Amino acid sequence: MGREFIDLFERWADSYDTTVSGEDEEYRDVFKDYDGILSAVAQASSGHVLEFGVGTGNLTAVLLKKGLNVTGIEPSKAMREKAKTRFPNLALLDGDFMNYPELEQSVQTIVSTYAFHHLTDLEKDKAIHKYSQLLAQNDKIVFADTVFKDENARTQMQEKMKAKGFYNLLQDLQTEYYTTIPVLEELFQKHGFQVAFRQLNDFVWLMEAVKN
């Protein structure tokens, strides 16, 4: 359920914002146009927004600036503390993509950036089913995450990172649960969503799934 990665984020909390800013050469392309990616998610969002994987609150800041009502879900205590310092009044709950406290109000948009890959494809299936029960017709799921066009694209990217000597990133690509567009398309359609994909950088795609 993604919680096997909590220790990573506990350690990453203090340097996460440095990484996404592009100072780490190995991950620079992963986070290329990071602000634009956050903006794309926020622009596609409306109403009461449920954000999974709040982290240090970077997407949260953009959502709040747009005037949206946000409830955040974050499994890492260190990350929650960072976000709470920035947004003391934010409704921020301990939870993950599949297990979180009961919400007090209806949700119109579910969002996340750089986090859905922490679920296996089977867990993604279960999570999307759960969200289909939470959302009404025309409500949305808006995720931005590293996704591959197909299996060939996944293999080519791993070979490219190996050739560059980016072994930490290569290990991430090989051990975390990055999936492909055909898999996600099938899962969203299975649970009653019409989904569209738009590539935002060499790694990240925006997926906007509207409930039928």
| Annotated domain spans of the chain | 3-211
* 91: three-class secondary structure by DSSP: strand
Considering only CA atoms, which of 107, 108, 87, 110 is closest in space to residue 97? Answer: 110
The whole model's pTM is what?
Answer: 0.91
Domain formed by 3-211, architecture: 3-Layer(aba) Sandwich (3.40)
Q: What gap in Å lies between CA 135 and CA 88, rounded to an integer?
A: 27
| Residue pLDDT tens, the chain, 212 long | 455 565 655 555 556 666 676 678 889 999 999 999 999 999 999 999 999 999 989 999 999 999 999 999 999 888 899 899 999 999 999 999 999 999 989 999 999 999 999 999 999 999 999 999 999 999 999 999 999 999 999 999 999 999 999 999 999 999 999 999 999 999 999 999 999 999 999 999 999 999 99
Q: What gap in Å lies between CA 54 and CA 74, rounded to an integer?
A: 5
Exposure class string for 113-128: b at 16+ Cβ within 10 A, else e: bbbbbbbeeebbbbbb
Q: What gap in Å lies between CA 21 and CA 35, rounded to an integer?
A: 9
